Structure 1
Amino acid sequence: MENNKSAVEHHKYSERLTELEKRSVAAQQRQRNKKSAKAHIGNKIHGIKVKRYVSNGERVLKLVVLFSLILLLMLYIISPYSKVKNLEVNGNHDLTKAQVEKETKIYPGRFIWGVYLGRHQIINDVKKQNPQIKNLVIKVTGPQSLQLVIKENALLGTAVMNNDTYAVLANGQLQRTKTADNGIAYKRFDGHREALATTAGQLGKLKPAIRNGISSVSYQPTKEYPDRIIIYMRDGNTVYADLNTVGDKLAYYPAIAANMKDKGVIDLQVGAYSYSYDSKDK
């Protein structure tokens, strides 16, 4: 009886001991887990700090670079290196480089950034002030270099109206001038400025080879042909034409003149036909 009792107590003691060992092992495991968690959190915090330092460093570097560029730009703007040193003018024929500089107010010594930033206003102003300038392109070709590309309204000749001399441009506009050139002489247009502008605009459509063959143009309307002009060619021929259509019809002048045996008249007012000066069939 006593042996059975002892065996039962021994079994209970063993179970109790096993339970205590399990608790001890669990406690030790929890302790290790806590340490591991703390170590993981510490590593994570360290990683976050490193990333933050790197990110801050990048921000600072970017700001330093940005402000350095701004500082360099400001120094360039106020320095002599931002002034125009080389100015190239292309596309001009009747206008000289000096005239282009005067009209555009762009010249060596002017700040290049001021010209570039205000280029649109400069172009608008110069086209209004001088109708001889049809278009203007301003290009920056270097730190101190500019290029002005001019497109002109060709100068066709001159006309005297009301005792004033006008340069006649290819777009039909008239520009007061003090000198006459060797281009087309426009005669008998006094008091007929609109007719002169229309005639000039038509002749401006012609190829230079044909246009340069014109010596003078005279406005001589009749009752039958109220818009008649008479064109005197440098080769000796005379052309009768309508000022509203002369630009299109005179384009065929070289072919018509080539088929003429003698110098004479080419009538382009209605259709197109020609006859020699000494012909009786006029």
Structure 2
Amino acid sequence: MSRDRVVDLEHKLPKLQADRKRRARKRFLLYLSVLLLLIGTAVYLQSSLSDVRTIHVNGAEFTTSDEIEAASGIERGMKMWGLDLEEHTEAILSHETIEGAAIRRTWPSTVRIDVEEYSTAAYAADGSSYKPVLSSGNIVDADKAPGDAPVLHGFEEGEMLTDLAAEIGRMQTSVQYAISDIIHDPVENDPERLTLYMNDGNIVSTTVSSFADRMEPYPAVAGQLDSGEEGIIHMRINPYFESFAELEDEEDVMEGEESGGGIVDENPDDASVEEPEEEPSEDSPEESVDNGEAADANEMD
């Protein structure tokens, strides 16, 4: 019995030794791999291999890649592992044309910046050129052919333009595309009054305040007009239509009132002019002498 066990051990011993060597070799390779990985990582982090070498910018139309790179603060030569992505993203968002941004590393040495610019709300007419007006209210210094957005006339960068751009951004797409031109047409009691020329030929009068809400019912209002009837649609709290014929009648009445305001002599030639009466003048000394001589001659007769 014991002899059989000795024989079995003699047969199994070489196999056990081989398994032990195989496990030792695997353990050694594992430790070596970890060591080499640590050494390689240390060398990579400390060498120029970890420097930012390439910066890719995607999604920019009005802003150049150089402008976005400068806004981000990321420069070639900076360490990939040392980038504060959140801080650099916030820096990009401070640019006036950028609404959204995301930065990601692509190892070993590439940085990708994806941006989303503010949408184009309108185009500002500047002579024969047109500059995009973003939904943020900023005018981009670029000459672009007007697309599916209204053309603005008489506006400057400021609070009113910012409000109008935001209102246009809130409008229904169908209503926005129906507008051809928006003219700043202020009056004393409404400095934000607007005159709109629509693509369907209608003229609309409204104001900047709550512009999107005021224009929302426009398709329904325009659809109720008689075909060929021309006039102005007042898109106020209660929209109403005023035909050009009514406007002409009002102007005629106003002109008549102005012309009848004073009394006009229709026949000025019939008026007689009284000549002033001559005042009696005292006799001159010569006439007195002549009269005295005549009296003496009569007495002698």
| TM-score, normalised via structure 2 length | 0.54
| Structure 1 gaps, min length 5 | 1-32, 159-166
1:134 aligns with 2:99: yes
Aligned partners of 2:163 and 2:40: how far apart in 1? 55
Distance change in 2, residues 1:63/1:189 (3 Å)? closer
Deviation at 1:266, TM superposition (A): 3.6
| Structure 2 gaps, min length 5 | 124-131, 145-150, 251-301
What is the match of residue 146 of structure 1? 111
Instruction: Specify which of 14, 24, 29 is matched with residue 56 of structure 1.
Output: 24
Deviation at 1:221, TM superposition (A): 9.2
Contact 2:85 2:104 in 1 (8 A): no
Deviation at 1:201, TM superposition (A): 1.8
Instruction: Specify which of 161, 164, 168 is matched with residue 203 of structure 1.
Output: 168
Structure 1, residues 112-132: CA drift from partner, whole Å, max 9, x if none?
A: 4444xx3233223432x3353
Aligned-pair identity in percent equals 16
Distance change in 2, residues 1:231/1:246 (3 Å)? farther
Deviation at 1:215, TM superposition (A): 4.7
Instruction: Specify which of 41, 58, 79 is matched with residue 73 of structure 1.
Output: 41
Aligned partners of 1:218 and 1:74: how far apart in 2? 68
Distance change in 2, residues 1:35/1:212 (3 Å)? farther
Give the letter aligned to residue 126 of structure 1. Answer: I
| TM-score, normalised via structure 1 length | 0.56
Q: Aligned to 1:55, what secondary structure does the other structure show?
A: helix
Aligned partners of 2:24 and 2:53: how far apart in 1? 43
Structure 1, residues 128-173: CA drift from partner, whole Å, max 9, x if none?
A: x335321112244564433322101246589xxxxxxxx97515xx
Give the letter aligned to residue 237 of structure 2. Answer: V
Contact 2:99 2:117 in 1 (8 A): yes
Contact 1:240 1:269 in 2 (8 A): yes
Deviation at 1:264, TM superposition (A): 5.7
Q: How many residue pairs align between the two structures?
A: 229
Aligned partners of 1:60 and 1:104: how far apart in 2? 46
